[in-house]
Structure 1
C-alpha cells in the first residue's frame, strides 16, 4: 500500500472517531394485528433472540406497532414501515402479515403466528418459498384439542366455536376442526364475530345449543375472550382455548404453544436474514413444542372438574 493511502485511511478513521460517527444500527420493524398476551409474547421472543445474537443498544433499532384489531390500520402500518426501509419487517398474525406482504417488494418480511401461510396467500410453498417472504406457522393439532375437551366433557356432542370469518387463519382452523370433529362424532356450531364488540353476542347465541365452547386462535376472539368466559360462567358451559395464554385469562384448559418460544423461533429466522440469507430461500418453519395449561378454579365456576389424569400431566396449573 502506498504511503499516501495509509495516511488517508488513518485520517479517515480518526475523523470517524472524532465526530462520533457509528455504523448504521440494524433496524427490525415489528407489527401485530392486535395487542394480547400471545402476540405480545411473540414480539418479546423475537427481541430476546436479537439481543442474544449481539444486536443490542445502539446496534439495534427495534420498533413495534399494533393495528388495534383493524385490517385497515394494519395496511397503513405496513405502508409506513416499507417507507421507513427497515432491514426486516416482522409481521405477527395473519392480517398484519397479509398487509406487509402486499406492499413489500424488496424488504424481507418474516411472519409469525400465522396458521395457514399458503391459504393466506403469503407464500406458494412452505419449502423454499421464494420472493422476500418466509416465517413461522402455528398450525395447531385440532384433533389433540378435541381429545382434551372430551376428557373434560366425555359426552360431548356439540361444540360451539365463536370466530371471525374475516380472518383467514380462523377460517382454516374452523375448517380443520369440523373435519376432525365429524370423525369423532362431534357437531361444530359456529357463531360469527367480525369484530371484538361482537364477541359477547356471538357467544351468547351458542347458549342452549352446545355442550362446550372452543376459542380457536382467532385474534378477534382472543382480544375479547373475557366476554366468552363470562358467558361460560353465567350459562355453566365450559370454555376451552386453542392457546395456553387464554387459560390464564379464564379458559378451563388448552394444549398449545408457548408463544414466547414461537417468538424465539421466529427470531432465529430474522437473525439468519440479517446475516445474509435470503428470506425466500429459508423454509417456512412449523412451530415446535406444546404445553398443557389448566385452570381448576375456572373449571369449577363453569360447573366441571379437571380430570385427575389431565391434572397429572399439566405443564402449568393456574392458581
Structure 2
C-alpha cells in the first residue's frame, strides 16, 4: 500500500487536508473545440436526489464540458431531471430521456443509473456517484464494461474512514453503520465497513432505514447502545444528514461520514473524495464519447486520482461533542 500524506489547515470550523490513496486510475481528455461545427449536442441527466455531493457532481460534469467547448445555449442542450429520491420517478425520468433520443445520458447515483440502464441498451450512458458499477449490475466488469454504460466510481476509502473514527473516538468499542438497505452502493460500503471495524477491533451493528421518515427514530434507538456512528455515501442519509446530526450530536454520538457534504451538515469528520472533481472526470469521458474517440463498451470505470481525496473535520461539532482533534490532524503539512 502506498504511503499516504496529509496536508492542509484547520479553519474556524473545518479542517481540510489532502489525502492520497483514494483512487487507482486517472484520465485526461483529448483536446476539444466543442464537436462538429453547427451541431447542438443533447445530453439528458437523471439525478436521483438533491444533496451536496450529487449536486457537485453535476456541476463538475457541466464545467468539464464547458472547458472542452460544449456550452449550454450554444452547442449543448441539457435536460436535467431530479427524481427526488423516488425510484419510480427515476424510472419515469429514464423513459422520458430515452424517448428524446439524446446523444448521451448521465445517471447520477446508483438508482438513477440503474433506471437508465434498464431503459436503453443503445444510447450511451455515463454514470457517476456509483460505488461499484459492476456490483450494481450496470456493467459486465469495471475494467471492461462491454455495453452502453460506463462512467466513474465514488468508491471511498472506507478503511481510512474507520481508522479516522478510531483516531477521533479512541474509546469506541461498538459502532453503528447507518444506511439504506435499498441502496446497493450503501450495502457494498456497509460490508466494507464491517470488515474494517472488525480488523480495527471494534464491533459493528446495522442501523438500516427504508425511508427517510425512519431516520430520526433509528438514530435515537442507538443512544446508549453504541459509541459512534458510521454513515457511508448513502443518498438517503446524506439528504437527511441535518436530522441525523441533530439527534446524534445532542446525545454525544460522533458520526463519521462518507463524504464532505455530510460533514458540512453536522457530521464529525470524513476522509472522502471531491464530488465536483468526480463530475469533471465524468465530463471528460463525455467529451470523448461526443467526439467519437471512445465508446462506453471499451471505456473502463474510472476513479479519482490520489490527490483528489480530502480529510474534513467539523471543528464546531468536535467542540460540541467534547472531542479533541489530535495534534497531527491540526498540524500535518
Whether TM-score is above 0.5 comes out as: yes
Structure 1 residue aligned with 2:154:
138
How far did 1:163 drift? 0.7
Q: Please show how residues 43-62 of structure 1 align to structure 2 within 5 Å.
A: 43-56=58-71, 57-62=73-78
Deviations 1:123-158 (A, max 9, x none): 111122111110111111211001111111112211
- 8 Å CA contact 1:28–1:90 kept in 2: the answer is yes
Deviations 1:259-298 (A, max 9, x none): 1000001111111100112111111112332011111111
Structure 1 residue aligned with 2:304:
287
How far did 1:23 drift? 3.3
Structure 2 residue aligned with 1:186:
202
Structure 2 residue aligned with 1:195:
211
Structure 1 residue aligned with 2:53:
38
Q: Which has the higher contact order (CA 8 A, sep 6+)?
A: 2
- 8 Å CA contact 1:294–1:311 kept in 2: the answer is no
How far did 1:300 drift? 1.4
Relative to the length of structure 2, the TM-score reads 0.85
How far did 1:311 drift? 2.0
Relative to the length of structure 1, the TM-score reads 0.89
Secondary structure at 2:49's aligned position in 1? coil
Structure showing the higher helix proportion among its residues: 1
Instruction: Mark the runs of 5 or more structure 2 residues left unpaired by the alignment.
Output: 1-36
Structure 2 residue aligned with 1:303:
322
How far did 1:205 drift? 1.5
Instruction: Mark the runs of 5 or more structure 1 residues left unpaired by the alignment.
Output: 1-21, 315-319
Counterpart-to-counterpart distance in 2, 1:93 and 1:313: 33
How far did 1:312 drift? 2.2
The number of aligned residues is 293
How far did 1:305 drift? 2.1
Q: 2:254 aligns with which of 238, 247, 250?
A: 238
Counterpart-to-counterpart distance in 2, 1:183 and 1:212: 16
Counterpart-to-counterpart distance in 2, 1:124 and 1:41: 27
How far did 1:115 drift? 0.6
Counterpart-to-counterpart distance in 2, 1:48 and 1:223: 24
Counterpart-to-counterpart distance in 1, 2:139 and 2:147: 8
Q: Please show how residues 246-285 of structure 1 align to structure 2 within 5 Å.
A: 246-276=262-292, 277-285=294-302
Structure 2 residue aligned with 1:208:
224
Deviations 1:182-217 (A, max 9, x none): 111111111111112221112111111111111110
Q: Who wins on radius of gyration, i.e. which is larger?
A: 1
The ranges of structure 1 where at least 4 consecutive aligned residues each deviate by more than 6 angstroms after the TM superposition are none
Structure 2 residue aligned with 1:5:
none
Counterpart-to-counterpart distance in 2, 1:119 and 1:290: 23
